[in-house]
Structure 1
């Protein structure tokens, strides 16, 4: 029996060629390659995230700012700008990132005249890359106080077949702009064009729905010894149409009747229900005249019979003349916020009282009447909860804030008082606002 010699650690006669050991240089190359792959993956992921962020925004201003900020981040540019163009190729707005404030004609800032490199992209809307601005023959220099830039990357932004504007990026933080940078920014500009087109379409639709809502609201009559103001502020969030309304009618007994209401829900359905309720309420108030609680009771009855009892809050108030001067405010509420009373001596308060249940709960439930004597010069305001309620503050906090604002503006003209109550929200409304104000004049 023949024994087989033991194999050593080296390759045997049947083994393949020996694999050489990897040196440090080879490992560095592999590591660099993997790093490039990771960076490329990260930039593509960043581009996809940016496209999602831009596409999900419907406010045009938000879209434009997001495009500039995102482009700077993707290619690591110190400065960025988006020039919006009109039909004749003139700049109408310049949104910037990395320096200064946004410039626009409304703000009085001077916009580019299109004589330098920024105009080059306007005249020839193709991607543009300049590695050394100081040596470019079309460079026109920089305005006073403007940072000096050394390199530029620009691409047009098209919305359908129209060049909406141009995206400019300057001074990459880690070297010169590359072909890959240009490809990424061009892809971003393509997504931005679609997003801008969508935002402009949404803007037109939003304006149309807002106009529709305002046409459902009445014009205020001219009344002796009574100054009237009304405001309607749609929600700044979609949809910009809902169920808030105000109304004022002169009753047959010569007493003005103020009405404010809020249908639960949003959208065209709420607006339709609002129109139905406000029209029915006008007829009932004109027929019943008083007391306000009786008007609300009949309204709730009719709505249950005709429309199945839609949910809504309503306040109805009469301003009855007093023999000694001033007026008596008589009101009843169906789950609505109380009146806000403002007197000429810079005092204001809500007239808290039993509100009763909203419409649509049970038409048999009672809703009490309340009274408050108003001196000459006093102002009473009825409004919906969108004025005082938002996600960051409680309803009580919002009502306290309105009381403070009303007290500070008590002796100002009535339009300014109404604008002040709306203005502190800085055009950020989570819900619609209907506001009706009446001031007793001498």
Structure 2
């Protein structure tokens, strides 16, 4: 009889282990499905096409996070405004899940809709901020919005808590923009966002990005921005195409094992388009 009790206890233990294994498998499958759904939802909300304007070069890249559920919040956008100028936006929703991906879609759609009423960057971010506050969500978003006149190169921008963009000119100058920024969207009522005006020179580039591009386990934001500044400077001086620069910037983020989504929007004006820049030497 003692042997039978021992056998029964062993069978019960095996059954419990089998149940725990099945539960772990189910959780892993659920997590994988959630990741795939969040990525598919996010990709489906990003623009399929970019404006085609003579002399204006636009390029975008997006890379999902490398680990876990860290997907869903980053976006980029470029669209033609009612007056013929080009609206450019890039942003990042707080949170990394399906809810963040859905909220990202609301922010991007809200920006586009409100841009038909006003495309002045500061006012547009202010109105978008008020719109998000009415949604009652606990999420918030950082964002940079630019309005570019391709005919003159005049570029106006406003920033809501977002990481600064990078610029470079064909004569070898490059750096990180020092535009004054305001708080993220969806946190504080009645915010005034400062507008900064620049002129995008012939052959110059602007690189808009999210923090997943310039921050990782082995890379600080400062070092990551310096890395993008170097790449943008090389591209502008050499007359490299916007798509090559965008690819190199994303490759640099992937090379340091970024743990967050990474989105890049490159804007160039009237520069020669010469393929090249394979991302070599992008390690900090």
State the TM-score bracket (shorter-chain normalisation).
0.7 to 0.9
RMSD: 2.5
Q: How many residues align?
A: 245
Q: CA deviation at 1:200?
A: 9.2
Aligned match for 2:47, one of 215, 218, 235 = 218
1:226-375 matched pairs, under 5 angstroms: 226-289=56-119, 291-308=120-137, 310-321=139-150, 326-375=152-201
Provide the residue aligned with 1:413 in structure 2.
Answer: 241
Q: CA deviation at 1:351?
A: 1.3
Q: Where has structure 1 moved over 6 Å in runs of 4 or more?
A: 195-205
- CA–CA distance in 2 between the matches of 1:202 and 1:428? 21
Describe the shift of the 1:389–1:364 C-alpha distance in structure 2 as closer, same or farther (beyond 3 A).
same
Provide the residue aligned with 1:77 in structure 2.
Answer: none
Describe the shift of the 1:390–1:427 C-alpha distance in structure 2 as closer, same or farther (beyond 3 A).
closer
Q: CA deviation at 1:203?
A: 6.6
Deviations, residues 289-320 of structure 1 (Å, cap 9, x unaligned)? 2x200001111111112334631101110112
User: What's the secondary structure of 1:237's corresponding residue?
Assistant: coil
Describe the shift of the 1:296–1:197 C-alpha distance in structure 2 as closer, same or farther (beyond 3 A).
closer
Q: Which 5+ residue runs of structure 1 have no aligned equivalent?
A: 1-190
Deviations, residues 379-402 of structure 1 (Å, cap 9, x unaligned)? 112111111112333211211121
Q: Which 5+ residue runs of structure 2 have no aligned equivalent?
A: 1-20, 272-284
1:9-28 matched pairs, under 5 angstroms: none
User: What's the secondary structure of 2:189's corresponding residue?
Assistant: coil
Confirm whether residue 392 of structure 1 aligns to residue 231 of structure 2. no
1:91-110 matched pairs, under 5 angstroms: none
Deviations, residues 366-424 of structure 1 (Å, cap 9, x unaligned)? 21000111111111121111111123332112111211122223322221111111112
Q: CA deviation at 1:207?
A: 4.7
Describe the shift of the 1:223–1:196 C-alpha distance in structure 2 as closer, same or farther (beyond 3 A).
farther
Deviations, residues 29-64 of structure 1 (Å, cap 9, x unaligned)? xxxxxxxxxxxxxxxxxxxxxxxxxxxxxxxxxxxx
Describe the shift of the 1:225–1:239 C-alpha distance in structure 2 as closer, same or farther (beyond 3 A).
same
User: What's the secondary structure of 1:307's corresponding residue?
Assistant: coil
